[in-house]
Structure 1
Amino acid sequence: MIRGTGPETVRSALESGDPLPGTTGFAGELDGRLVRDVLGRVPLYLEDEASLAHADDGRVWAFSPAELADPVPVPAGTVLEDDGRTRVWELPAPEPEADHERALEAVDQAIRSAAAVTPDDVAVAFSGGIDSALLASLLDAPLYVVGFPDSHDVEAARTAAEAMGRDLTVVDLEPADLERAVPHVARATGRTNAMDVQIALGLYLVAERVADDGFDRLAVGQGADELFGGYEKVARLDHRVEADTVRGAVREQIRTLPEQLPRDVLAIEAAGIEPVAPFLHDVVVEAALALPTELLIDDETRKRGLRLVAREYLPASVADRDKKAVQYGSLIARELDRLARQAGYKRRMDDHVTKYVRSLLEKSY
């Protein structure tokens, strides 16, 4: 069973070695082999470390870690067969496109193409930042923002929606929402560390409302920061990156996607709907990889190329806007910290929020 695309597309990619065969990712079992795409966009797990080191006919696998006793992620870009593991696909490393207009046109066409094949019955997770706003401009879909009433994201989403002439549904949170959702998120993602849970909570809670309103899919802006140079550490080339060039640092961030994306996919699926990430379509990834440094970071303006493309679709006030990470912009991180302290997990304790998350998970069984 393959998720994400058809078996013939995966067979062709295996034969050609093409890491970007025109999909939004894939994983599963094909012809007795386990496969997972180069960016790990579809989660895939084996039962234990022994299975990962040497797959045999008795292997147990699943798309969700919750279905296994000791789940281990299948590495992105690999094939597991009876005689072991093989790295089949590597992330392409094209030369930067010297013609800036051509590079921007390629990104524009790629994003429009990815949006055009987005299924119907979709809502957009809308924070008011450039990524979600660009998706909103290309999709005929309702917009939803999640956050506490005084949060940056709710205000940013309201002003952006107004500037775009769009309606917006605000999912106002209360502390009880976090307490209720934490066990669901931790169990679905297989993660209890504070950062992962804080990020996943926002996705789960907005997806939950979208599902309640009758939609089957949620469009998200995942991948845009990694692909287009959205991180401060990339602009500064500081101690948080190993590379000494902007393009190298961007490539480092793209390589983190196989670790991040399963968390986001599983959190949304736990709410009963399907995530859709147009920026992670192969055609967008391919166009982004060819961007020169000047269209990634310019005078510390992050995502410069994407902003130039977005200005064709969005008001300048929205296209040029920076945003906070979802766990901070929504105030979920602040409120989860407060709940942990109220429950007796003080900041002087090591990783006090993670301890609180684990306590809620244990109580839920």
Structure 2
Amino acid sequence: MRGATPETVREARESGDPLPGTNGFAGHLDGALARDVLGRQPIFGTPDDWGFSPSDVDAADPTPVPAGHVRDDDGDRRVWSLPDPPVATDDAAAIDALRAAIDNSLTGLDGEGLAVAFSGGVDSALVARGAPDAPCYVVGFPDAHDVAAARAAAETMDRDLRVVELTHEDLERAVPEVVAATGRTNAMDVCIALPLYLVAERAAADGFDRLALGQGADELFGGYAKVVEPAADDRVDATTVRGATREVIESLPDQLERDVLALRAAGVEPATPLLADGVVEAALPLPDHLLATPDERKVALRRAASEWLPPSLVETDKKAVQYGSLVSRELDRLARQAGFKRRMDDHLGQYIRSLA
């Protein structure tokens, strides 16, 4: 069992408690496979032939256990569902609860073998606060937004920053490695996984075996543009900010499977303190106006962080990693240079498959 003791998972299975105080778990338990409610630990195969990545499984088609499910010889059975608590009505109490949950999750994060993936935004700055002795790594092309933002933030926090400066050759080499690790060839998944893989690869080469990331913050706290005015955005079905945020949270298992597989293939184990059960539990009751407004996203997270971080970091907007690192732009450039023009259907996906 990864991420929790068998006793903890057994008790959670018997009680149906979806957030039993872990950072996610998966493994073999009493003749069955189990995966936590947010899918923070992926697991594949059958109770007789299983592993933590598809390559661990001998079966021709190793399928992932769905998040929140137990898989036994009779198939998949949902055991855990994400809670749907009442909306918090006391803003100050909700933010205090969130701040306490984050502080608790960050306690003990630091330690030997840990590095921090750092983009200069509030998410990674919070994680870096919990690991004051760990070096910070940023990945991107020389003129990338994330590189400039990370340099400024690292100077503000007086942190050791190591820049993983990318080249086209890095992308061409890493694409087939990411595809092999994740089993995915669609352009969006590969563009997201590439910078994670490359920064993790450098951290592993420097001797680190854990990489702390701010994953989950955008999903839990209203970080996406599509949740701001959901009734007018066809990318979500919900008509409220809280409902749209819930939709985004429910997309986490698929995203985390991709990211965890890429990071492990690069040689590190991810540490995601902002996805700890306590933080999730504090995030779920947040009302619309503490998630996202037309003027601000991740409202509650920023207010919680303001106790620890300077305003310049609390207020900083962050680009998605594939854009902030310029990986998406430069992979598209390589595709067009190779003859995969934008007028072609799925030109970037075709290029990725040609490399894989």
Shorter-chain TM-score bucket reads: over 0.9
Shift of 1:299: 4.0
Q: Is the 8 A contact 1:5 1:26 kept in 2?
A: yes
Answer with 286-295 or 276-285: which moved more: 286-295
> For each residue in 1:306-331, what CA deviation from the matched residue of structure 2 results, as whole angstroms up to 9, or x when unmatched?
01111111111111111111101101
Q: Is the 8 A contact 1:130 1:320 kept in 2?
A: yes
Aligned-residue sequence identity (percent) comes to: 64
2:326 corresponds to which of 327, 331, 335 = 331
Matches within 5 A, 1:183-198: 183-198=176-191
- Counterpart of 1:44? 43
Shift of 1:127: 0.4
Matches within 5 A, 1:114-153: 114-118=105-109, 120=111, 121-140=113-132, 141-153=134-146
Answer with 123-132 or 96-105: which moved more: 96-105
Residue type matched to 1:160 in 2?
A: A
- Counterpart of 1:90? 81
Residue type matched to 1:123 in 2?
A: A
Shift of 1:216: 1.3
Runs of 4+ in structure 1 off by over 3 angstroms are: none
The separation in 2 between residues aligned to 1:42 and 1:203, in whole angstroms, is 17
- Counterpart of 1:52? none
The separation in 1 between residues aligned to 2:344 and 2:294, in whole angstroms, is 40
- Counterpart of 2:28? 29
Q: Is the 8 A contact 2:94 2:286 kept in 1?
A: yes
Q: Is the 8 A contact 2:164 2:202 kept in 1?
A: yes
- Counterpart of 1:232? 225
The separation in 1 between residues aligned to 2:281 and 2:37, in whole angstroms, is 12
Shift of 1:91: 0.3
Residue type matched to 2:97 in 1?
A: A
- Could you tell me the TM-score, scaled by structure 1's length? 0.93
Shift of 1:119: 5.3
Answer with 80-89 or 225-234: which moved more: 80-89
Q: Is the 8 A contact 1:236 1:300 kept in 2?
A: no
The separation in 2 between residues aligned to 1:251 and 1:343, in whole angstroms, is 40
The separation in 2 between residues aligned to 1:4 and 1:134, in whole angstroms, is 22
Matched, 1:104 2:95: yes
Q: Is the 8 A contact 1:235 1:300 kept in 2?
A: no
Residue type matched to 1:131 in 2?
A: D
CA RMSD across the alignment: 1.3
Q: Is the 8 A contact 2:241 2:288 kept in 1?
A: yes
> For each residue in 1:187-226, what CA deviation from the matched residue of structure 2 results, as whole angstroms up to 9, or x when unmatched?
0011111111111010010001111111110001110000
The separation in 1 between residues aligned to 2:173 and 2:275, in whole angstroms, is 31
Matched, 1:74 2:69: no
The separation in 2 between residues aligned to 1:119 and 1:19, in whole angstroms, is 26
Q: Which runs of 5 or more structure 1 residues have no equivalent in the other structure?
A: 47-54
The separation in 2 between residues aligned to 1:97 and 1:40, in whole angstroms, is 26
Matches within 5 A, 1:1-365: 2-46=1-45, 59-68=48-57, 69-118=60-109, 120=111, 121-140=113-132, 141-237=134-230, 238-361=233-356
Q: Is the 8 A contact 2:110 2:130 kept in 1?
A: no
Residue type matched to 1:100 in 2?
A: D
The separation in 1 between residues aligned to 2:294 and 2:337, in whole angstroms, is 44
Residue type matched to 1:197 in 2?
A: V
Q: Which runs of 5 or more structure 2 residues have no equivalent in the other structure?
A: none
The separation in 2 between residues aligned to 1:65 and 1:349, in whole angstroms, is 31
The separation in 2 between residues aligned to 1:116 and 1:241, in whole angstroms, is 35
Residue type matched to 1:175 in 2?
A: H
Residue 341 to residue 21, structure 1, CA distance change in 2 (3 Å): same
Residue type matched to 1:72 in 2?
A: T
Secondary structure of the residue aligned to 2:228 is helix
Answer with 67-76 or 145-154: which moved more: 67-76
> For each residue in 1:236-288, what CA deviation from the matched residue of structure 2 results, as whole angstroms up to 9, or x when unmatched?
21111111111111111110001100111111111111100001110000001
The separation in 2 between residues aligned to 1:287 and 1:105, in whole angstroms, is 9
Secondary structure of the residue aligned to 1:72 is coil
The separation in 1 between residues aligned to 2:271 and 2:282, in whole angstroms, is 19
Q: Is the 8 A contact 1:32 1:81 kept in 2?
A: yes
The separation in 2 between residues aligned to 1:319 and 1:70, in whole angstroms, is 45
Q: Is the 8 A contact 1:132 1:221 kept in 2?
A: yes
Shift of 1:60: 2.8
> For each residue in 1:105-139, what CA deviation from the matched residue of structure 2 results, as whole angstroms up to 9, or x when unmatched?
11111111111132512111000111001111222
Shift of 1:83: 2.6
